Homo-oligomer: A and B are copies of this chain.
C-alpha cells in the first residue's frame, strides 16, 4: 500500500487568497472502503478550508479511533494531526486548545467513538464550550470493528448480519442542545452543498460547534433496513435551512432573497446567512430548536441544517480568563518567578 501521493502540481491550478491550491488541503490516499461516506466528509473539509483561505498549518486536526478517526490522515496534509485513543479526542483537543488558543481545532470522531466510549468526554467538551469544530461521522455502526450497532443506531434498524437493534438511538444533536452547545448542526455526507457551508460557519464560530454528519457505512450499514443508509437518509431528510457562509471581507447578498434570510454574525465578524424554510426558522432560539427537533423526530424525519447557534457564547479561555497569547508561546521570563520571589515565599513557610 502506498501513502505517498504524487506531488506533481499543475502550475495553473487556482490558488486561494493565502496562496494555496486546493490540493494543498488534501491528505494521503484514503484506505477506507470505496464509497464510504467519511471520504465525502473529508472532501467537504478540504473544500471548506480551501474556500475559507485557511492556512493549513494553522489547523490542528484530532481524532479518536475508528474508520472515521482515520480520516484526518486523508485531509490537510500540511496540518499537524493527533490520532488519539478510542473515545478520548475531546480531552486531547481540550489540552491542545488550552496550550494554544490561536489554532483552529478540528476534531473528527465516529458515533462509536463519541456516543459510546467517548460520551463523557463529549458531554464535557460541550459543557466547557471548547472552541473547536467537532464533526461526528455518524454511520450508526462500528465500521472498523465490522459493523456492530452503535449507540446512535436507531431502534429497529437492521444490521448487515440481520439483527434488529433493540435500543433507542442517541440523538447527538438533541444532546448537544440540551447541554447548551453554542453551535449545533446536522448534515449528510452526500450533501456537499449543505455540508461545506456548515463546516465553514462552524469553523468561524467561536466556541463548541457540533456537526453531526450522517455518513453511511457502505460495507456494514447500507442495507435498506438501516436508518443510516443512503437510501433511508435521502428519503427522510428534512433540511432545516440552507446556509451560505460569507467571509467578512466580501459579503454577497445576491443569492438570498430579502425576507427569507436571517443573518447571524459570528464571533469573528463573519456572517452566516440562513435561508429559512417555511416555518420561519431562527437558529438563535435554543428552546425553539429543541422543539423543532422533537417534532421532526416524531414525524420520522431527520432534521438537517444549522439547528442552533449562539454567537455570543464565551469559550473556555474567556471563562477561565487565560492570557490572550497562546500559552505555549510564553517563555521563561513570562513564567518563572525567579530566585528572589522564591526567597520571599520561603519566608512564608517559616
Contacts and interface: CB of A to CB of B under 8 A. Distances in A.
Interface in A197-225: none
B120 A166 contact: no
A166 B294 contact: no
A178 B167 contact: no
A178 B168 contact: no
A85 interface: no
B178 A171 contact: yes
B178 A151 contact: no
Given A174-B178, A319-B166, A119 B128 contact: no
A170 B166 contact: no
Contact of A167 (B128, B166, B294, B298): B128
A166 B320 CA distance: 7
Contacts of A119: 119-120, 123-124
Interface string A61-97: 0000000000000000000000000000000000000
Contacts of A287: 291, 294-295, 298
A251 to B, nearest CB: 32
Contact of A175 (B175, B290, B294, B319): B175
A244 interface: no
A112 interface: no
Contacts of A168: 127, 179-180
A317 to B, nearest CB: 11
Contacts of A151: 124, 127
Contacts of A252: none
A318 to B, nearest CB: 9
A118 B116 CA distance: 13
Chain A residues touching B, majority SS:
helix
A175 B124 CA distance: 13
Contacts of A175: 175, 178-179
A123 B178 contact: no
A117 interface: yes
Interface string A120-140: 100110011000000000000
A124 B122 CA distance: 14
Interface string A283-315: 000010011001100100000000000000000
Interface in A143-200: 151, 166-168, 170-171, 174-175, 178-180
Contacts of A290: 290, 294
24 contacts: A116-B120, A116-B124, A117-B120, A119-B123, A119-B124, A120-B120, A123-B170, A124-B151, A127-B167, A127-B168, A127-B170, A128-B167, A166-B320, A167-B319, A168-B180, A170-B179, A171-B178, A175-B175, A175-B178, A175-B179, A287-B294, A290-B290, A290-B294, A291-B291
Given A119-B120, A127-B151, A168-B179, 8 more contacts: A118-B120, A119-B123, A124-B151, A128-B167, A166-B320, A178-B178, A287-B291, A287-B298
Interface of A: 116-120, 123-124, 127-128, 151, 166-168, 170-171, 174-175, 178-180, 287, 290-291, 294-295, 298, 319-320
